[in-house]
Amino acid sequence: MMIKSFKAKMAFFSLCTSGLVFVAFAFVLVRVNEQAMDERLDRQMLKCAEGPLRRLMAAQQSFPPAPERRRDLIPPEEWETRNIFPVRLMGREGRVFYCSATWPAWMTPEVLRPLPPTERHEFEPPPPPQDPRHRGEEPVPMMRRMVPPLPEFTYYRKDDKMWRVLQLRFQGVTATMIADLSELQQEAGTFRLKVLLLLLGGLSLLGAGGWLLAGVALRPVREVTRVAKQMTSSALHERIHVQQASDEFMELVRVMNQMLERLEKSFLQAKRFSADAAHELKTPLAILQGQLDHALRHAQPDSAEQHLYVSLLDEVQRLKAIIHKLLLLAQSDSGKLMLTKTKISLPACVKALCEDVPLLAPEVTLDCVCEDDVFIEADAGLFPQVLQNLFSNAIKYNREKGLIRCRVYKEGRQAVLTLLNTLAPGSHIEAEHLFERFYRGDPSHNRQQEGCGLGLSLAREIARAHQGELMVETLTEEAISFRLVLPRVAEPGLDPVQ
């Protein structure tokens, strides 16, 4: 499974790299500890074996080599108290001089690997002459001494137990000493368990530390993300401010701030252009409308000129409506949309529009249910445009013998209006683009359907200016439903807002 989070990737990479070092260190530590324990045991066994062997050699040099007297010279009680390992001494002819009482019966001479049959000899240089006058006269022969074979350590396994065996020979006497490794293995196992627990704890701390360090390292990215989420048309002046960030992130922050500055300038220019263009067009259109009215009054009744002037006046009225909406949108974008709020009965406004539906669309079935005591504070000049846009769209884009269902009710501290209308066959409405400016449900922009695609966009901006929201509640191939939510106020003495 791929890790998609960059923070998780950094923590995982830190855990893997540091974890490998920890595992290698733990493995080396365990091996060194086991080797040290083996070496300590070997030194202890060798020290315990050399003592009886030296005592036996001294006894052989002081007394005749009688086998029956050799055993008397090595008291068993003294051997058992001085040696903590079972020991066995055996001569060249195979006669056992001494054997501990705890010596295992299965460990016979045939089981053990035999030592080399011969002993090593080495030469050592002669001592320097005492008298300087005799130097260089006759070569002094080198002295030869007997060196016992090196001690031989081996491992044997018997009945699920491991034994360490030491064999040492000197002047025909072989000393064999054994050690049960059960306690040593138990001690080594306890040490491995402790190392494993420390390793797991260290890896856990590494993972947590890597996660925290990754979070600290990505703090500038989170700040950039936070500021980017807050960026709207009215908050392009915001800038990213990050302290104590690395050079790479500071470069990213600098580039992002420069990009935001360019966007702010471009957006302000676009807003000024829309407002200025709409404002400048008002005067020529007013003059054009006045001239057309004058020409229409002096035209012959039912003449071609009169019909032309009427058509031109309709287009001028349409242009004036578009310019008015553009001015309102420009004011909303710049935060200069001025509202004069008064207390309005939302059911009364809706019922007034519902009375016009049978006149405008007599074939459409109207279903309107409104609670009586739902009041809002709104601008009496702007807010009715929201309802007019919703109802006009419900009529224009409805099917023949369709349905319009309207509901007004209270929901906590809010006043809610839901408006549902059936759709004409073949309608292709995209909910994500429905509130975009100049978007129309008819992609061909058929002039038979009035409108310019600014009504819903303007309605949502007016609703937001009233601290409300306009949204698409449901959208299917058969019908579409809008939901308008506004803050509710109480009528004195009737409905206290909870």
Question: Do the domain assignments include residue 197?
Answer: yes
Residue in this structure with the two tokens 């406004």, named with its chain if needed: 349
Q: At 148, list the tokens.
A: 């016992």
**pTM of structure:** 0.48
CA angle 367, 386, 477 (to 5 degrees): 55
What is the pLDDT confidence band of residue 182, given thresholds at 50, 70 and 90?
confident
CA–CA gap between residue 438 and residue 335 (Å, rounded): 21
What CA dihedral angle connects 315, 318, 320 and 323, to 10 degrees? Answer: -120
Q: Considering all CA atoms of the chain, what is the largest pairwise distance in Å, rounded to the nearest integer?
A: 164
pLDDT higher at 475 or 302: 475
Decide which of 333, 362, 383 is a domain's last residue.
333
- 389 and 449, same structural domain? yes
Contact 238, 231 (CB under 8 A): yes
- 184 and 92, same structural domain? yes
Question: Do the domain assignments include residue 243?
Answer: no
Question: Do the domain assignments include residue 126?
Answer: no
Q: At 307, list the tokens.
A: 């019909």
CA–CA gap between residue 476 and residue 285 (Å, rounded): 41
Decide which of 287, 314, 333 is a domain's last residue.
333
Residue 441: its pLDDT value, please?
Answer: 61
246-260 tens-digit pLDDT: 666 777 778 878 888
- 431 and 292, same structural domain? no
350-382 tens-digit pLDDT: 999 999 888 888 999 999 999 988 999 998 888
Picking from 133-142, 310-319, 339-348, 430-439, which range would have the lowest pLDDT averaged per residue? 133-142
Picking from 144-153, 223-232, 374-383, 434-443, which range would have the lowest pLDDT averaged per residue? 144-153
- 25 and 96, same structural domain? yes
403 has a pLDDT exceeding 90? yes
209 has a pLDDT exceeding 90? no
Nearest one of 52, 45, 86, 85 to 71, comparing CA atoms? 52
Q: Mean pLDDT score of the chain, rounded to an integer?
A: 77
Question: Do the domain assignments include residue 455?
Answer: yes
Residue 407: its pLDDT value, please?
Answer: 93
Residues 6 or more apart whose CB falls under 8 angstroms from that of 15 comprise 203, 206, 207, 210
- 272 and 155, same structural domain? no
CA–CA gap between residue 67 and residue 85 (Å, rounded): 24
One-letter amino acid of 206? L
- 352 and 311, same structural domain? no
Q: Which domain holds residue 282?
A: 268-333
Residue 403 pairs with which residues in a beta bridge?
365
Question: Do the domain assignments include residue 121?
Answer: no
Contact 71, 55 (CB under 8 A): no
- 368 and 304, same structural domain? no
* Distance from the first to the final alpha carbon of the chain: 51
pLDDT higher at 70 or 474: 474
CA–CA gap between residue 249 and residue 254 (Å, rounded): 9
289-294 LR contacts (CB < 8 Å, sep 24+): 289/313, 289/316, 289/317, 289/320, 292/316
Residue 122: its pLDDT value, please?
Answer: 47
Question: Do the domain assignments include residue 383?
Answer: yes
83 has a pLDDT exceeding 60? no
Picking from 6-15, 144-153, 347-356, which range would have the lowest pLDDT averaged per residue? 144-153
Residue 262: its pLDDT value, please?
Answer: 85
471 has a pLDDT exceeding 80? yes
- 298 and 155, same structural domain? no
- 193 and 71, same structural domain? yes
Looking at residues 370-395, what average pLDDT do you find?
89
Looking at residues 434-444, what average pLDDT do you find?
68
Residue in this structure with the two tokens 């609670």, named with its chain if needed: 371
The CA distances from residue 220 to 216, 230, 244, 262, 456, in Å, are 8, 16, 9, 21, 38
Picking from 91-95, 135-139, 206-210, 352-356, which range would have the lowest pLDDT averaged per residue? 135-139
- 419 and 279, same structural domain? no
Looking at residues 231-244, what average pLDDT do you find?
69
Question: Do the domain assignments include residue 326?
Answer: yes
Of the chain, the percentage scoring pLDDT greater than 70 comes to: 75
In the β-sheet with 96-99, what is the strand arrangement from edge to edge?
96-99, 87-90, 173-180, 161-170, 152-158
User: For residue 449, what is the domain's CATH number?
Assistant: 3.30.565.10
Residue 177 pairs with which residues in a beta bridge?
87, 166
**Count of C-beta atoms within a 10 Å radius of residue 386:** 25
Decide which of 291, 310, 333 is a domain's last residue.
333
Q: At 451, list the tokens.
A: 């409108």
- 303 and 435, same structural domain? no
CA–CA gap between residue 142 and residue 170 (Å, rounded): 22
Question: Do the domain assignments include residue 420?
Answer: yes
68 has a pLDDT exceeding 60? no
- 203 and 284, same structural domain? no
Residue 67: its pLDDT value, please?
Answer: 44
Work out how many domains the chain is built from and give that number: 3
Residue 81: its pLDDT value, please?
Answer: 45
